[in-house]
Amino acid sequence: MKNKSLVSISDYSKEEILSILESAAGFEAQPNRKILDGKVIATLFFEPSTRTRLSFETAVIRLGGSVIGFSDAATSSSSKGETLNDTIRMVSSYADAIVMRHPLEGAARYAAEVSPVPIINAGDGANQHPSQTLLDLYSILKTQGTLEHLNICLVGDLKYGRTVHSLIMAMSHFHPTFKFIAPDELKMPDEYKIFCRKHDIPFTEATELHDNFNDADILYMTRVQRERFQDLMEYERVKNVYTLKNEMLESSKPHLKILHPLPRVNEIAPDVDGNEKAYYFRQAQNGLYIRQAIINNVLNN
Ligand code: CP
């Protein structure tokens, strides 16, 4: 790559991941620092977002930089037929780095190849969401005190959920044991199971949620990704497959933490929100500090 882009979590070594987490802790302690004075960051969101876009933009503003961009592709010239290549060429002549979410898998890699400024992948189709993965790792480290030898239960849409795909790759540095809980239609794709076998990561698969996470340190719930289904009848069949309720947590480990990349739909009942094991809103807040660390890293390396 020509620049210090973050396209896939596999672009970062274990040492770089740990360095980002350490840097994020510094930004959490002191989030308002004017280290981006005079810098412009573009946020190009070809798909909807609340957390990722707003936390990236907040990260830039709190560091003294400025933000340009769009949150709806319909308001950009891509709606007139402009190619991604031309959009990136233009925006890279205005901005020092580009944060991009795009529905096509591989769009971020393509953008990084044609851009002279760093590209930060804010999600490309069902492929990767590396800044989410780094904030997930930060949340796991903060709540468990370690990333090593944890039992992690991934639940829901494991087929289309890009956050679980990135998380498996990142955790491969830290000797995890995984349990994949999904209906048959949304099972973990073979390529990630092959990845686990290649990296000696034990995993089991299940279709039932109840009583299947009692040995977990992390219960990672995910939304069924309606926007990725070709057949909406199939979505209707699986959309409410799992709902975590407070009563289901009684036999779970005392230090269990429930993560969810959000937004949630029906996968976590509101009565779980008050449980001390619920961590998903603080997880989203951690995204601000991680994104400050990522921007600082891509601009200063
Ligand atoms: N977790 C996540 O990517 O949330 P948004 O879609 O709201 O950005």
The predicted pLDDT at position 1 comes to: 40
- Across 137-296, the runs of DSSP E, i.e. the strands, are 151-155, 177-181, 203-206, 218-221, 257-259
Distance from the CA of 280 to the center of ligand 1, in angstroms? 12
What is the value of pTM for the model shown? Answer: 0.94
Residue 254 makes CB contacts below 8 A (sequence gap 6+) with none
Closest approach atom of ligand 1 to CA 52 = 8
Placement of tokens 């009848």 in the chain:
233
Placement of tokens 């719930």 in the chain:
221
Q: Tokens representing 194?
A: 């092959």
Distance from the CA of 136 to the center of ligand 1, in angstroms? 12
Question: Sign of the C-alpha dihedral, residues 79, 83, 88, 93?
Answer: negative
Closest approach atom of ligand 1 to CA 284 = 1
Distance from the CA of 182 to the center of ligand 1, in angstroms? 21
Give the number of other Cβ atoms within 10 Å of residue 112's Cβ: 25
The predicted pLDDT at position 2 comes to: 47
pLDDT in tens, the chain (301 residues): 446 999 999 999 999 999 999 999 999 999 999 999 999 999 999 999 999 999 999 999 999 999 999 999 999 999 999 999 999 999 999 999 999 999 999 999 999 999 999 999 999 988 889 999 999 999 999 999 999 999 999 999 999 888 999 999 999 999 999 999 999 989 999 999 999 999 999 999 999 999 899 999 999 999 987 777 778 887 777 788 899 999 999 999 999 999 999 999 999 999 999 999 999 999 999 999 999 999 999 998 5
Residue 300 makes CB contacts below 8 A (sequence gap 6+) with none
Determine whether the shortest distance from the Cβ of 263 to ligand 1 is under 6 A.
yes
Closest approach atom of ligand 1 to CA 287 = 1
- Across 149-300, the runs of DSSP E, i.e. the strands, are 151-155, 177-181, 203-206, 218-221, 257-259
Active site residue 129: yes
| Ligand 1 atom 6 nearest Cα | 49
For the CA atoms of 30, 31, 33, 39, what is the dihedral angle to 10 degrees? 150
Residue 199 makes CB contacts below 8 A (sequence gap 6+) with 172
Determine whether the shortest distance from the Cβ of 49 to ligand 1 is under 6 A.
yes
Active site residue 51: yes
216 closest CA partner among 269, 277, 295, 125: 277
Distance from the CA of 52 to the center of ligand 1, in angstroms? 5
Active site residue 143: no
Distance from the CA of 155 to the center of ligand 1, in angstroms? 17
| Ligand 1 atom 4 nearest Cα | 51
